[in-house]
Each structure stands twice: as C-alpha cells, then as structure tokens.
Amino acid sequence: MDTKSTLLVILHHANEVTDHHLEGTFKLMKNAVQRVSSEEIDWHLMNGLSDEDILLLLLLHDTDLSVQYRPSHIEEMVRFIVELGNSYQLGPKTYTLH
C-alpha cells in the first residue's frame, strides 16, 4: 500500500490547480502528511478508513494546521480537495477558494 504517496499526489494536484495564494496552506497540509509514518497511514486504511477520512484525520490532528484553522475549515479543505480530484477527470481547471 502506498497511501501516503497517494495523499501527497492528491495535495500536489490540488495545489497546482488552485489559486497561488493557497500555496502556504497546501505546504502545511503536505507537511502534516509527511510527518506521519506510512505504516500508521496504512493501518488506518486497513481498518476501513478511506483516503479522504485518513487525510481529514491527519490534518485535524496536525498542530500547525489546527492552530491556524478551525476544524470546520479543515473539513471544508478536505472536501474541496476530494472534489477537485473527482472533477479532474473532466479536464484540468483552475479553482479558487472563497
């Protein structure tokens, strides 16, 4: 299983297609994923969590993100990233968070 790499690719893609003002936020999210071991991420996957659930869990428990964002904002970020991943199959677009 390579869930950690998958999550990092998803974040990289979302960063590429969104407004450049969000780069700092995406860097915090990537750092949050990188701080967690692949084994821990795969453990969550093997216990029934989806990639989206794992990403949400990692970001909610990251100190750097939780100091700057409310849990509801982190949840919205994850939802936005997942929607970007789903819509990317229709063709690359540029998105901006409001």
Residue by residue, pLDDT tens for the chain (98 residues) are 588 998 998 999 899 988 888 899 999 999 999 999 999 999 999 999 998 999 999 999 999 999 999 999 999 999 999 888 777 654 444 445 54
Does residue 97 lie within any of the structural domains?
A: no
C-alpha angle 57/6/44, rounded to 5°?
40
Q: For residue 16, what are the contacts with CB-CB under 8 A and spacing of at least 6?
A: none
Q: How many structural domains compose the chain?
A: 1
Q: Does residue 29 lie within any of the structural domains?
A: yes
- Within a domain: 22: yes
- Domain of residue 85, residue span: 3-90
Residue at 95 is within a domain: no
pTM of the model: 0.82
